[in-house]
Amino acid sequence: MSLPRTERPDAPAYLQRYLDRESRGGQPGVAQPAQPDDETPLYLRRFRDRRSGTSALDAPVPLWEGADLGATRAWAEVTRTKEIVPERKDQTKGAVTDVYFVRHGETQGYSTESGLTPLGSWQAHRRGQELARRVMSGHHVTLACADTNRARQTAEGIRKGLLDQLVLFGREATVGDVTAYEEFRNFQVMTPDGFRDVTQAFRLYHSEMEKYERIGLGGRPTWLVEVDRFWGIQQAGGDPITHWLTMPMLTFEPPVAAVRRFWAGLMRLHDETPGQSVIVATHSGPIRAFATWALGYDPGEPFNTEFVRVRLLDGGESALVLYRNRVQEVSVPDFDVLPDWWQGLEGRALPVSRRGGSA
């Protein structure tokens, strides 16, 4: 006999009421007019509801489609798949592995290694339910994640949503356990304590900044200057990931290195696991760098639990990268022929790990 499940994948009622109140600008709720029971299209109902003035420019802005929905249902409408009809068999037979790079759910913040908020847990569960539509009977789903609390909890939430929805659909598919892979970690920064996730480095950065400001030690080390710029942009309301993508930094892992190890992790999963579907819960920076490399432009920051889909085609030489209604075919990198930028260099031009006795 199994114990009852006590977790709450749905958003709490108080959170729904708060989001609903904020959407109205803090005003109390106003009863919505009853909707007709006929088959009148939504755009026509919205047009009839408008009260035009003397000029067409005086007409109020039409409400968006989800304005008359509750907070939970509205979020579900926004995050549901945009595929109107199922894909035909002949369109999918060339793809041997489907990989989803999913950003983690909402967190308490990025200054500590905190886990997901209640809304973040609900987002992950909801994303798992949505991805279950693409899993057929007989398939195996492999789950991977970055080795951080928020990424692991997102992967666990996706797994629960998958299992719940597969039972609802009556599909006989297997879902593996969540495994952390170093290839899918967040981008790193070099600190006196070694390589650290940019969030893990925040506490050391904050304590070092206080020491330099209090004692007045003078010039700060390079890593502290660059981390200070990164977090300063975030605290000012800017986009630090754009700064990382576009600004050369000596102590930060470059975006191209994150793209390269994402490909290495993808091919490792393809070789080691039998899964037709692979779901990777990771972080927005490497996901965005991967999408920028594939599409040739920066498509923007992924939202919480938004994903980039990679469909590895038969033969393993090419793949389709899908993100925000854009599809791009790319060649799978051959790691044996990628350039070695340190070739022909010696002394301090080489990384410390490759200098040997020549430094």
Please report which helix (H) or strand (E) contains residue 231, including its range. Answer: helix 222-235
Quick one: 271 and 315 in the same domain?
A: yes
pLDDT attached to residue 11:
58
Q: For residue 353, how many other CB atoms are within 10 A of its CB?
A: 6
Domain interval for residue 216: 194-246
Average pLDDT over residues 253-265: 95
Q: Are strands 318-323 and 307-313 parallel, antiparallel or unpaired?
A: antiparallel
Structural domain contains residue 1: no
Express each pLDDT in 23-82 by its tens digit.
777 766 555 555 556 677 776 776 666 554 444 444 444 444 445 555 555 555 555 555
Q: Domain of 150: which CATH number?
A: 3.40.50.1240
Instruction: Specify whether the CB–CB gap between 82 and 169 falls below 8 A.
Output: no
Residues 126, 241: one domain? no
Amino acid at 235: Q
* Residue 71 within any structural domain of the chain: no
pLDDT tens per residue across span 175-232: 999 999 999 999 999 988 888 888 888 888 877 777 777 665 567 888 888 988 898 8
Residue-by-residue DSSP string for 322-355: EETTEEEEEEPP-TTTS--TTTT--GGGS-GGGT
Q: Tell me the CA end-to-end span of the chain in Å, nearest whole number.
A: 66
Q: Is residue 39 part of a domain?
A: no
- Asked if 294 and 216 sit in the same domain, the reply is no
Residue 311's DSSP bridge partners are 98, 320
Q: Are 238 and 264 contained in the same domain?
A: no
Same domain, yes or no: 150 and 198? no
The band of 350, judged by pLDDT with boundaries at 50, 70 and 90, is confident
How many domains does one find in the chain? Answer: 2
Q: Are residues 268 and 215 in the same domain?
A: no
Integer Cα distance of 23 and 4 in angstroms: 35
Same domain, 223 and 282: no
255: its two tokens: 């975006």
Q: What is the pLDDT of residue 54?
A: 40
Q: 206, 212, 196, 153: which is closest to 178 by C-alpha?
A: 153
Are 178 and 261 members of one domain? Answer: yes
Same domain, 262 and 317: yes
Same domain membership, residue 135 and residue 232: no
179 and 286 together in one domain: yes
Instruction: Identify the domain boundary among 177, 211, 246.
Output: 246
